[in-house]
A and B are shown apart, each in its own frame.
Chain A
Amino acid sequence: MRIARGLCLFYWKLVVASLLFSLFLAGLGSGSVPFFIGTGFAFIFLTPVFHYLSYEVNSPGEYYFFYNLGLSRLVLWVSTLIMSILVGLSIMFL
């Protein structure tokens, strides 16, 4: 349960930023690509980018918070990729 709570905290700032940018990009390209397809596609690629910028570049020290919950960097990266694909695909099929 505490691990799930930790993952929610980890993804909170990624998902919000990634979703807003995805909506913005999909809005820009809505003439050529259907809106939800564009949003889902952008989300899949932007979430790992925000992960990298937020945790690897901006505040790598925050990893220790998640290490203390038993979540390694590898686990966090793998779950970012899985989560971005699942959420992105879900948006595409809306």
Chain B
Amino acid sequence: MSGLHADSIRKQYGDRQVLNDIFLSCKTGEIVGLLGRNGSGKSSLLKIIFGTLSADNKFVSVDQRLMPSLFSGRDLIKYLPQDSFLPAHIKIKYLISCFCGKAARGLVMADPLIQPHLEKQVAQLSGGEKRLIEILLLVHSEAKYLLLDEPFNGLSPLQITAVKTIIQKHEAVKGFVITDHDYPNVLDIASRIVLMDQGNTRVIKDPRELIQFGYLPKSSLHIYAGGETNL
């Protein structure tokens, strides 16, 4: 059973069961779009898979290797949190060597999106520039599976296009789980959509099911009436 597998994940906050025996899988070559309303447990699920949030029950494996802790998955799974995570006082060129192997370092430093910022400290960058660099660092890391929590948040349309291109370029060798409220862009690149609803997951075969299950308003029906997605 190759790939990233998260199974039997349960999480309760007080009396509220947020995750109820959740199963989620992702293989290399796959972009899984994880959609759901606010508070449906998307971020909690990603944090549990990554290993920074405890669960009442969990089983996470990568390529048949059990991932009981953060340390065991450090070279296999990386996580982009909702908010900026790069240390503000460090120059970008030093951060690259923490995330990328020798071979990738040169490529990343020469990337036209990163190159102008190499000598800048993270604190000198705008929100969009930080987000873009965070995504580039994770994508160029050696991790096989990337969990991206709201990667399009704060990005301009041009930057969103750049991020989508980068993700699709690395899709062949990595697996992505992406959650974002910018659902048109998620639907645009996802090879599979999973909807989180009332603590459970549903595999979405047709974007119109998102309306049926109450994630999208009925007024958005015209968007997918004749539109194409990867699903």
Contacts and interface: CB of A to CB of B under 8 A. Distances in A.
Same assembly: yes
Interface of A: 2, 5-6, 9-10, 12-13, 59, 61-65, 67-72, 75
| Listed residue (A2, A12, A64, A71) with the most chain B CB atoms within 10 angstroms of its CB | A64
B152 interface: no
Interface of A is mostly: helix
B143 to A, nearest CB: 8
Nearest to A75: B71
Contact of B86 (A6, A10, A62, A69): A62
Interface stretch (B21-29, B91-99, B175-183, B192-200): B91-99
B220 interface: no
Interface stretch (B6-14, B35-43, B76-84, B209-217): B76-84
Interface in B44-60: 50-52
B138 A68 contact: yes
Q: How large is the interface on B (under 10, 10 to 19, 20 to 34, 35 or more residues)?
A: 20 to 34
A27 B218 CA distance: 70
Q: Which interface residue of A5, A10, A63, A68 has the most chain B CB atoms within 10 A?
A: A68
Contacts of B66: none
B98 A64 contact: no
A5 B98 contact: yes
A67 B52 contact: yes
B87 interface: yes
A12 B89 contact: yes
Given A9-B94, A70-B71, A72-B69, A65 B89 contact: no
B74 interface: yes
A67 B50 contact: yes
Given A68-B79, A70-B71, A72-B71, A62 B94 contact: no
A69 B137 CA distance: 12
The 6 A-B pairs of least Cβ separation, nearest first, read A70-B74, A64-B85, A61-B83, A70-B71, A64-B81, A65-B85
A67 B98 contact: no
Contacts of A64: 52, 79, 81, 85
A78 to B, nearest CB: 13
Given A2-B98, A72-B70, 19 more contacts: A10-B87, A13-B87, A13-B89, A59-B88, A61-B84, A62-B86, A62-B87, A63-B85, A64-B52, A64-B85, A65-B86, A65-B95, A67-B50, A68-B85, A70-B73, A70-B75, A71-B71, A72-B52, A72-B69
Contacts of B85: 61-65, 68
Contacts of A13: 87, 89
B90 interface: yes
Contacts of B138: 68
Contacts of A6: 98
16 contacts: A2-B97, A5-B98, A9-B90, A9-B94, A12-B89, A12-B90, A61-B81, A64-B79, A64-B85, A65-B86, A67-B51, A67-B52, A68-B99, A68-B138, A71-B71, A72-B69
